[in-house]
Amino acid sequence: MIGGVAGGEWLKYTVHVNQTANYTLTLEYGTPSPKQRSPKLMVDCQAVGDFQTPAHEFPDWRHTSHAVLKSVPLTEGDHEIVLLMQGSYNLGGLKVAAE
């Protein structure tokens, strides 16, 4: 869990992709405000899209909801992934699954 991430902050990861495919990314998050701007995903310095953040069921930092970004094309090999925050969140895990 990463707590108290604010708009303008970012998290960077290096990942290795075993197979070229489209992927769905699911981000666990908590926030006390239902009207936050969604986190943006960048892959290799290119904006890919914004996570879809539904209304947060429990309006506090402790409970998590799931933001989804579908059809992210990733090629086999190493990539730099950046989560650019556009609102205030607590972040949990980031799951990646081939479609």
Would the pLDDT of 91 be above 80? yes
| pLDDT confidence of residue 32 | 76
Q: What is the bridge-based pairing of β-strands 89-98 and 21-30?
A: antiparallel
pLDDT at 60: 65
> Is the Cβ–Cβ distance between 27 and 66 less than 8 Å?
yes
Q: What's residue 29's pLDDT?
A: 87
Token digits of residue 65: 């909801």
Residues 40-50: b if buried by 16+ CB within 10 A, e if exposed: bbbbeeeebee
Note the pLDDT tens digit of each residue in 9-65.
Answer: 999 999 999 999 999 999 998 887 767 788 999 999 999 999 987 766 666 666 778
